[in-house]
Structure 1
Amino acid sequence: MARAALGWIPQELEALEARGLRRSLETLAPLQGPVVEVGGRRLVNLCSNDYLGLAADPRLRRAAAEGAERAGAGAGASRLVAGDLPVHRALEARLAAWKGTEGALLFNSGYHANAGVPPALVGRDDAIFADVLNHASIVDGCLLSRARLLRYRHGDVQELSDLLSRTRARRRLVVTDAVFSMDGDAAPLREIAALCDRHGAMLYVDEAHSAGLLGPTGAGLAEALGVADRVDVHMGTLGKALGAFGAYVAGARPLVDLLVSRARTFVFTTALPPAACAAALAGLEVVAAEPARRAHVLALTERAKAGLSRLGFDTSRVVAPILPVVLGSEARALAASAALRERGYFVRAIRPPTVPRGTSRLRVALSAAHDEAQVDGLLAALAEILPGLPPAE
């Protein structure tokens, strides 16, 4: 029985339900992969960020088990107390080499990194310039910094230029996703880097949805566009294309040293468990050794883009295996998700506040573990269900 002080919560849950905004958890079994079991049914999994199909790869699972056997189930403490283990240092060195930077620092999640790094770099006398569609974790980190937050229209380089020209601040930090998680499109990093050079601003790029996928070595969008050396803060995650768990920030050695002292989400948390670090190291080896994985998932992305275009959806700006099927209302997105499930496809409805109101959608995420038949099957199922969805509001 809930305490009386929590008596307002059931009514709040009812209101969320009525607006189509209540969330629920669904357990997948037995493993993450292209086909999963949900509620006793086998479904094609099209909403995971496991872009290279590594989350259940036997090599990563073996590495995780060996890492735990060698160094224990948990790190036991913050890295600054008694939790700094050799596997942390090994992974950071490997990440820095991959990103072409002087150093790297592990964080326990992408949210930890994005919430902790901006407050370590800027404060009340400073200004942050952020794309309006940046991930929620970036927004929270910007707010925690207490710096003045100036948000520019999505991908609008001219507005960013105007804001940088007009704003007087001690320090300036431009923050953007590389690939935007709900739209699959890319930030104009070349133009943004040029603006940062011109105005003496720091550039922070979140490569969570491009690291492992884009660029000659899979290091991300900045590598693909040839501007990696003009990015001051490279942030990325280990739990998407790399198949493990955690996150990192890579950059110059002074940056890393400052974060060790100032990033509260690093300082005040128990370090990543050895198993996660060992799995990430194995994932990095696969990325280096098997470029065909990213070539395959990017080819599937082009196939899906063409099919969605034929169905009337605009995917022209998509550069990564994230395909937005924008349906408008929460009711349409929920109905589409349910109808696809009946046909054997697991695609969750994405609703506000994750996306702007009026743009509820299906977020189709592809993996190197998928095949052409699964993509074609989804497209055929979408074509079948679209006419029967609730009318657009």
Structure 2
Amino acid sequence: MQEKLSPRGSVYGAHLRSSAVVAIEFVAVAAALWVLAWVVGKTWVILLPVALALIVCTVLWPPVRWLRDKGVPPAAAVLLVLLVAVAVIAGVVAAVAPAIVEQSAELAEQATAGVVKVRDWLGGPPLNISEEQLNSAVAAITDRLNSSSAQIASGVFTGVGAATSALVTVFTAVVVTFFFLKDGPRFIPWLRRTVGRPAGPHLAEVFARVWATLGGFIRTQALVSLVDAVLIGIGLVILGVPLAYALAVITFIGGFIPIVGAFVAGGLAVLIALVANGPVTALIVLGIILAVQQLEGNVLQPWLQSKSMKLHAVIVLLAVTLGASTFGVIGAFLAVPVAAAVAVMVRYYLEQVAEQAGEKDAPEESEAGADEDEPSTA
């Protein structure tokens, strides 16, 4: 007996109901994400020191673990490593600060001379801007600054408050780092026991993978940034660019903000070289920075990090942009580690889905088959 076909209206209705269910689920997920973002914003003052402490722990844990393996008590090992780290940072600041103080006056004079040259260039061909027009523009800028004096003063006090908050955050991060390094190895076993089955083993595995990924990323990025800073710093010293050591330190710090950090640090170095040494030196500095960036992108990053992060450059750029627009410089710094942690969680979830669907070995078999079918390029 031939089955009677459903009317079009029934088919449309079924599709509409399915679309409505998907739409309601999408709205529910979006609302949950909005609530999560709101909670993060409200608790940011607590989450920020914890996030910074976790990143610092990934760097300091290897020497702490080595000392603990040698029989040093956990608290003493952590305290010793923290003191050494603080001493290294203080030594770098003490080495760079005098150069900044000594050369800041010279740079100010050269910047003033550069402004005069720009003014003379604007007054000559082909622009031929008259002195009255330039004076009028300067007067307009001055009036604007005077009218905004209240806002500027408010901004100064806001900056003082931000500096105080930064000190509190740094102090809290140091204290949290101490306890994380001291008691961190107990966390995953405690989490597994406390949560229990079936979620406990999954959470423990995810946290272990996130920790390994963050540790590899931070330590490798520190090594890459150090190589960039040394090579660029040597070039700046040879060319006689002022503040070469300070620029090298900025390059090292900027290396932890992929793409954007290198662009900002390189632009600052080129600008100072242009003001202090002229356009020829600035072009040479630009060439050095581009060469070092090519070395980093084509040799250091693939060799050292390989595919451990598994994040496309577009994802990295979007993560840095979102973090910077939401939480400023600190957001740009934390963007890639957070994106890497989220990527680890997503991959683990997809592994579990594939295992439950009976497809756990399918991707590996297809990749192996593709490798066998394709001709060798060796």
TM-score, with length taken from structure 2: 0.25
Task: Compare relative contact order (CA 8 Å, sep 6+) and give the higher one, 1 or 2.
Answer: 1
Q: With structure 1 as the length reference, what TM-score do the two structures score?
A: 0.24
Structure with greater strand percent: 1
Larger Rg: 2
